[in-house]
Amino acid sequence: MEKNDRISPAVIRRLPKYYRYLGELNKVGVNKTSSRELSDMTGFSASQIRQDLNNFGGFGQQGFGYDVGNLRNEIGKILGLDKKYKIIIVGAGNIGQAIANYTGFYEADYEVVALFDKNPKLIGLSIRNALIMDSDDLEEFLKKEHIDIAVICTPKSVSQQVAEQLVRCGIRAIWNFAPKDLKMPEDVYVENVHLNESLFSLTYYYNKMKKESK
């Protein structure tokens, strides 16, 4: 599908945003758009949007624009949102439960199959059809079920160890919420959600703004 094998991460990071806005246009019945209009919505420059999309081939028509439904579909295919994904969550605390409760990963087929925790008070409870299981049973579970994505929501002290266990059982994609960088083999992809770092950046810009407005 790709014209080019190696697409810059910056491009990949922007695709979900295009996808979201195309979904919104779709929902209100707009079926034609342009890089200009997408630029107004996303804040990225029109030429950057065209350049981005051209990495994957021409989805638009010169002189006309883009077909909303088609472009959304193509971006979905690039991201892999046309497939189903089974997810487990390790660590059923605040964040783990919040994610399990979340119904808004709409437009794509993610299913939280189970959660794992070591806290006996949590084991046995269910969150939206997903059972919280004993983390001692994790390896056995993974031997039987095919899971695409594991979410790590444990304290950082055990995150590396949990990640290694997951990888031993065949997991290749980890969504990591613990504030720790996992040391993983090359063929495991880790997407970090480092909320601390996000808040610290925010703090920097907040202070910068205050200083400048003085």
Partner DNA sequence: AAATAATAGAGAAATTTTTCACAATATTTA
Partner DNA sequence: TAAATATTGTGAAAAATTTCTCTATTATTT
Q: Which residues bind ligand NAD (CB under 6 A)?
A: 90-96, 98-99, 101-102, 104, 116-119, 122, 135, 153-156, 158, 162, 177-179, 195-196
Contacts 24+ apart (CB under 8 A), 195-203: none
Q: Least CB distance from residue 123 to a copy of itself, whole Å?
A: 20
Cβ neighbors of 147 (< 8 A, separation 6 or more) are 86, 87, 88, 113, 171
196 binds a copy of itself (CB under 8 A): yes
95 binds a copy of itself (CB under 8 A): yes
Distance CA 74, CA 70 (A): 6
Applying CB under 8 A, among 104, 120, 121, 143 the residue interacting with a copy of itself is 104
Q: What is the tally of helices (H) and strands (E) in the chain? A: 8, 10
Of ligand NAD, DNA, a copy of itself, none, which one sits near residue 213, judging by CB under 5 to 8 A according to partner kind? Answer: a copy of itself
CA angle 26, 29, 33 (to 5 degrees): 65
181 binds a copy of itself (CB under 8 A): yes
Cβ neighbors of 24 (< 8 A, separation 6 or more) are none
Q: Least CB distance from residue 197 to DNA, whole Å?
A: 15
Q: Least CB distance from residue 29 to ligand NAD, whole Å?
A: 23
213 binds a copy of itself (CB under 8 A): yes
